[in-house]
Amino acid sequence: MATSIVITSGKGGTGKTSLTGGVASCLAALGHRVLCIDMDIGLRNLDLSLGLSDRALMDFTDVLEGRCSLERAAVAHPVIRGLYLLTAPILLPVRPLSGQAMAQLVRQAKEDFDFVLMDSPAGLGEGFQLAVCAADRAVVVCTTDASALRDAQRTVALLRGRISRIHLVVNRVQPRLLKRLHTTIDDAMDTAGLPLLGVVPEDPQVMLCANRGEPLILAASRGAAVAYLNIAKRLLGQRSPLMKLK
């Protein structure tokens, strides 16, 4: 059965977009059809992480408002078979977007794709609400700093009662910094109040690949690339050990 997943965080800078692109790339590389939807209206960046910035011409509002079909708007990746992107509009729409219409779009997408990953914008505003209304599962992304963990708590409070399966990814982890802060991944789990889906280390290759317009898994075989693959396997129900961060 196809699954729609919203990837969200309470604040910006947690690496949510990179995680969305990385996990989606891995799911596709494992043989699944994956549609990424960038929900960050006016501030879209998922196309950069996927290396599709010159290819994504139509956006999800074009589909919602009947200007083109989902099949035409979803852009296929030229290298990673089964990976597609439906981008966000550059400008804010004139009329408010309908959550019911968005949910219908995602239901339609689930007829053709195994996974629909929605990259929710930072914050808990309209874009967040639009993404959540169409999701079966949620992944809350946070870092280990106190402000990110507090915002993660707020996000979880809004998700509970609306989505039953919510997991945590602790991103951009720096083990030396954790030691200096006298904190652990378990502390982050306790603060967010969520089961752990994965731990991703701070990795300069993530930014380098985004700047080059190249998916991380095509350029790296360790660090964050391994963490993304492990998370993808867990979403598929497979057992995969957590990375040992040094």
Query: What does the block give as tokens for 105?
Result: 């779009």
Per-residue pLDDT of 125-136, as tens digits, reads 888 888 898 899
Q: Looking at residue 161, what is its pLDDT?
A: 84
User: Which of the two residues, 224 and 185, has the higher pLDDT score?
Assistant: 224
Q: Looking at residue 191, what is its pLDDT?
A: 72
Cα distances from 2 to residues 51, 59, 82, 110, in angstroms, run: 25, 22, 14, 5
Confidence of residue 93 (pLDDT cuts 50, 70, 90): confident
CA 81 to chain centroid, in Å, comes to 19
Per-residue pLDDT of 27-81, as tens digits, reads 999 999 999 999 988 888 899 889 898 788 899 999 998 999 999 999 999 999 9
CA distance 55 to 51: 9
For 33, list phi and psi in degrees, rounded to 5: -85, 125
Residues annotated within a binding site for ATP: 11-18
Q: Domain map of the chain by residue range?
A: 3-235
Pick from 213, 234, 232: which is nearest to 224 by CA? 232
Q: What is the value of pTM for the model shown?
A: 0.91
Least confident among 33-42, 61-70, 100-109, 180-189? 180-189
Domain 3-235 classified CATH 3.40.50.300? yes
Provide the percentage of residues in the chain whose pLDDT is more than 70: 93
Residue 181 predicted with pLDDT over 50:
no
Cβ–Cβ under 8 Å, residues 138 and 166: yes
CA distance 183 to 3: 34
Residues annotated within a binding site: 11-18
Q: Looking at residue 54, what is its pLDDT?
A: 78
